[in-house]
Structure formats: structure tokens, C-alpha cells
Structure 1
């Protein structure tokens, strides 16, 4: 009897976990969760961001306020809604965040890339700090990446590592899927971070 009860409880927990995984998605593209390595990486960042969300409500509060504005702009360019979470992962929706390499603003644009997509960055003005202007620039950049890669998951990776670098990795490794690529540690984790942040904010 005890064995039967224990078995039933184990099956219930497994079913709950399977239901949870089946609810996870990114940009309407398949996540190969049947691969244990993919599931393991996703679990890692789900745990990390779940802890972050529990310990501070600041990001959640900013997300409630700013993500609808970001989503509206992305939609006008045909960019999937899930890409709004890039801004959360990049800057925690804090425009004052600046990387050691000089990337800044909500979308963590490098100055040269920001200018390329229509933003002013000089000693007097920094449009990277403007949510509306920088999101329009990010949408134009993401759209240009999609015209090259034709895959939204690869677009997300390219946003992090750069289109040229990702293109080189795809060619050298003869792959066409982000989850099969061997990339630098930051880019290898990047899409998992976006998916995990999305999951925590939507289900939290």
C-alpha cells in the first residue's frame, strides 16, 4: 500500500513537471526540452531568476510598467512579444546600467551600433536612455537580424554575440540550431536567460 501511494505521488510530481515544461516557449519556436542538457540549463536559470524575483520586487514592478510599452513598439515591427524580455535581461530595465565595454541604456547598445540604428550618442545626448527611441532602434536591429537568420532563437543569440560571430559559428560547426551550437559561455546561456526571465515574470 505504501509503495502504491509513493508511486502515485511520484507520478503526480512528474506529470506536474511535464505540464510545466510543456507551457514554456520562446517566440513560438520549438525548445528541444526532450534533450536533458537543454532542460538542465533551463532549470539552472529558472532557479536563479526565481530567487531574484522572490528577493526583490523591483524588476517585477518595472516590468509591469514598462514591458507593455516595449511590446507595443516591437509588435509594430513584427517582432515577437517575447523579445521584450531582452531588455530585462540586458539592463534589468535600468537605463543607467553601463557595461565595462561601454554598452548602455535599456537595450545595452554599444555606441556605434546605437548610431547605426538611428540613435544619438554624444557628449550631450544619449538616446539609449530613452525607452521609446531605444526600443525602436532595437526593433530595427532585431528585424535586420531576422532577415539574415530567419530564425528568432538565432536572432536572440545574434543580439548578444553579433551577427558576424554567430554566422561564423554556424558555418564552422555546420549547424542551423542555437541549441546544438557550441558558443561562448555568455551566448550559450543567453536564450535560456530570456526564457527563464519570461517564465518567472509571467508565472510569478
Structure 2
């Protein structure tokens, strides 16, 4: 009798342990499901990605963009989406433009180049003094031969492609010549990316002088649309979700000129002499 009672007691205890375990498991499972649902609801309330309105009218350098063509609208839509949702880069575009555009605008105007070409610089280099894999240098991404042909000094000691004013002057000369050759500023901009020879070859091959009707390599085919998208966003930043305060912008860096009439053998010592560092 005692043995049977003891066995019954153990069975009840075992059942109680199983019941409590199931209760705890059910509680945690229910809590996990609730947590996931709350998280998902919060995510959907807080995060949204929107399609963008395509402008009804747009120009580049005073020339109409044929937005009634489906392929043109879709190409512009692609570049607007890329540049709107690559927020970090576009924010930097806006900040750098505040610092560098005034000088570029002045030189373009002096050379009768439409103001829209300042956006070409962002498409080329992001307004950074970079060197491309092909050897193009500076914010205007000038090749050595092109730079020398347009009056810039490029040698082991000096590379004026890094000089914003002189490089802008050289680019202006190139663009004016291209406008004379192709008859439109849009084609002049395309030739800046593709090269005059390459673009002329396609003009003759396709018997077509309108950029928007030409079949070109992928980079040049996107090039004008990227410039247009950058222009649209920088001129209307809040329409694309970009909000910056004046203090967020980059401003011109105070500078002064130093006359150098001999070769500099040690730039580290030269920099130290003028209270700057080698990097600058």
C-alpha cells in the first residue's frame, strides 16, 4: 500500500513538472511571437520607401530633356532613385557644393559655359581631388594629354589638374570646343565623358546627333541622367528628403599664396615651414 502511494505521489510530481514546463514554454513562445509582431508593426510604421515624382519639364544647359520618351523618363527615374537613396553620398555632394561651387560658377560664367556644368563636376569626381584608374586627375578628371593640350602644367614637380581654378579654365576650353563640334551642350557634356573621337564615331555610325537618341556605352548612356538627377536634388533638396542647416555645410578654407620659384626637395620640411602638414 505504501509502495503504491509512493509511486502515485511520484507520478503526480512528474506530471506537475511537465505541466509547469509546458506552461513556461508556452509563455516564452507567446512572448516571442508578441515581441516579433510588435517589432514588425513598429518597423512598418517607422520605415517607408517611396517612389519619386518625375519632373514634367527639365532642361540641361537650357536644352530641353525629352521626358515624353519612355526610355528617357525611366533613365532619369533610375538616377533619381540611386542618388536619393544613396543618402550619405548625396549629403556630401550638397555640403561640398556649398564650398566649391561659387568659384566654379564664376569661371564657367567668364567662359560662357552654362551654369549646369557645375553638376558635371560632381558626376565626375564627387568634388574630390581623386585619381581614376585611367589616370584622370582632379575634380574635373583631366587626363595628362588633355590637360597639357589645354594649357596646364603637368610634370614630376607640378600638376595643375589639382588646381581648382586652372582645371576649371581648362575644362571650359574643352567644353566650348566640343559645343562647336557637336552643336549642343548636351552632346558636349557627353563628349567630356566618352571623348570626342568615340562620340563622333557613334554619331556617324548611327546617323544621329541627338544624345537622347544615341545608343552609347552604359557609362555615357547614364552620364547626362546622373548629372540631371544631381542637379534636381541639389536645387530642391527637401523635395527628396534632404535637410541641412547652414552650419552643416562645408565652407571655403582660409588660404594664402606662397611663391615657389625653385624645386622643392623635401615637402615635409616645406610644409612645416608654413605651419601646415604634409597631408594638406
Q: What TM-score bracket applies, with the shorter chain setting the length?
A: 0.7 to 0.9
- 2:211 is aligned with 1:193: no
Q: 2:55 aligns with which of 21, 26, 34?
A: 21
- 2:62 is aligned with 1:31: no
- CA deviations 1:53-80 (Å, max 9, x no partner) are 4566322111011112101101111111
CA contact (8 A) 2:191 2:199 kept: yes
- 2:112 is aligned with 1:99: no
TM-score normalised by length of structure 2: 0.64
Larger radius of gyration: 2
Correspondence for 1:76:
110
Aligned residue pairs: how many? Answer: 186
Correspondence for 2:158:
125
Correspondence for 2:93:
59
Correspondence for 2:199:
166
3-state SS of paired residue (2:189): helix
Question: In structure 2, do the counterparts of structure 1 residues 76 and 53 end up closer, same or farther at CA, with 3 Å as the change threshold?
Answer: farther
Bigger share in helix: 1
- 2:146 is aligned with 1:113: yes
Where do 4+ consecutive residues of structure 1 move more than 4 Å? none
Correspondence for 1:184:
217
Question: In structure 2, do the counterparts of structure 1 residues 143 and 201 end up closer, same or farther at CA, with 3 Å as the change threshold?
Answer: same
- CA deviations 1:96-141 (Å, max 9, x no partner) are x111110010100011101110111111111111110100000011
Instruction: Report 1 or 2 for greater relative contact order, CA contacts < 8 Å, sequence distance ≥ 6.
Output: 1
Gaps of 5+ in 1: 1-15
TM-score normalised by length of structure 1: 0.87
TM superposition shift of 1:43: 0.5
